[in-house]
Amino acid sequence: ETGVTQSPTHLIKTRGQQVTLRCSSQSGHNTVSWYQQALGQGPQFIFQYYREEENGRGNFPPRFSGLQFPNYSSELNVNALELDDSALYLCASSLGHGSGNTIYFGEGSWLTVV
């Protein structure tokens, strides 16, 4: 167990709806990153939060947004859901945001868009 917990574990949404995924980071970790993992693919970096500020973003449209709270937990929000958003969404936490900081993944939230 990595200490990173995500909720919900599975959910089904309709195209055009909005979804919020939640993540509790490992105790003491101040950096949270979100990844999208499509079936049979490697995780793709969505964005990272460090001390409540966005600290880098991958090639995802603005309808993917996030928040980090003072306790370092985080949310991923996706608006105007599309069928291609169906994927496993992984949260990862680390102590610090530079290269070489070990990141610990949660077990993910499976999102199906129909």
Partner 1 sequence: QQQVKQSPQSLIVQKGGISIINCAYENTAFDYFPWYQQFPGKGPALLIAIRPDVSEKKEGRFTISFNKSAKQFSLHIMDSQPGDSATYFCAASKNNDMRFGAGTRLTVKP
Chain contacts with partner 1 (rule: CB under 8 A) = 2, 4, 31, 33, 35, 40-45, 48, 50, 55-56, 58-59, 90, 92, 97-100, 102-108
Please name which of 80, 78, 76 lies closest in space to residue 90, comparing C-alpha atoms. 76
Which lies closer to partner 1 via its Cβ, residue 62 or residue 100? 100
User: Which residue, 17 or 41, has its beta carbon nearer to partner 1?
Assistant: 41
Smallest separation, CB 57 to partner 1 (Å): 9
For residue 34, give Cα distances in angstroms to 14, 17, 24, 45, 114: 22, 20, 12, 6, 22
> Cβ of residue 37: shortest distance to partner 1, in angstroms?
8
| Tokens of residue 90, six digits | 């992984």
Residue type, 2: T
Helix residue ranges per DSSP H, 1-114? none
- Between 9 and 17, CB nearer to partner 1: 9
Provide, rounded to whole angstroms, the least separation between the CB of residue 47 and partner 1. Answer: 9
Q: How far is Cα 33 from Cα 16, in angstroms, rounded to an integer?
A: 25
The least CB distance from residue 103 to partner 1, in Å, is: 7
